[in-house]
Amino acid sequence: MWRDRWFAVAVIGAVLSCLACLTPLAVVVAAIGLGAWTGHVDLILLPVLIAFVVFAVYRARVAGRRAP
């Protein structure tokens, strides 16, 4: 399962989108003058996070079926 590149991409994507949701990245973005954009960041990041988590679960199940 750990050689499945798509699974690795899904896990890395989920971690990065989770970090973008939970860290004070929004404060940094607001500090450089993009404060109006930070209100809409959840509209993009939460669906991306959900998609990566679903994809990781799917790839784990597919790899689990192939393993002897």
**pTM of the prediction?**
0.67
pLDDT of the chain, 68 residues: tens digit per residue = 457 788 888 899 888 888 777 666 666 666 666 666 666 677 777 888 889 999 999 988 887 776 65
- Cα–Cα distance, 13 to 11 (Å, whole number): 5
Contacts 24+ apart (CB under 8 A), 33-36: none
Annotated domain spans of the chain: 5-66
Considering only CA atoms, which of 47, 46, 44, 54 is closest in space to residue 10?
A: 54
Cβ atoms of residues 7 and 56 within 8 Å:
yes
Cβ atoms of residues 49 and 14 within 8 Å:
yes
